[in-house]
Amino acid sequence: MIDTVKKDYNIITNEFCGYQVTYVNSNRVKSVPLAEDNTDYQAIQEWIADGGTVVDNPPE
C-alpha cells in the first residue's frame, strides 16, 4: 500500500523524471520512472486519482 509519493528530478537537468515512493510497513524507497507501461507508475496514477497528494520539492 502506497504511503508517500514525491516527485523526482534529474540531478543534472533538473527535469521531472519520476517518483520516489514509500509503502506502509516498509522502509524501502522505490524509484519509479515516467513510463506508462510500468505498473508502479500505473499504481501511482490510481493513488493520485483516489485523492493521494504528491509531494513536490523542485530543485532551485
Binding site for another protein (CB under 8 A): 1, 8, 10-12, 24-25, 28-33, 35, 37-41
Provide, rounded to whole angstroms, the least separation between the CB of residue 46 and another protein. Answer: 12
C-alpha cell at position 34: 515516467
16-23/29-33 β-pairing: antiparallel
Provide, rounded to whole angstroms, the least separation between the CB of residue 40 and another protein. Answer: 5
* Ordered DSSP codes for 37-52: T-HHHHHHHHHHHTT-
Provide, rounded to whole angstroms, the least separation between the CB of residue 35 and another protein. Answer: 4
Indicate the residue among 24 and 49 with the shorter CB distance to another protein: 24
Q: Give SS3 for 53.
A: coil
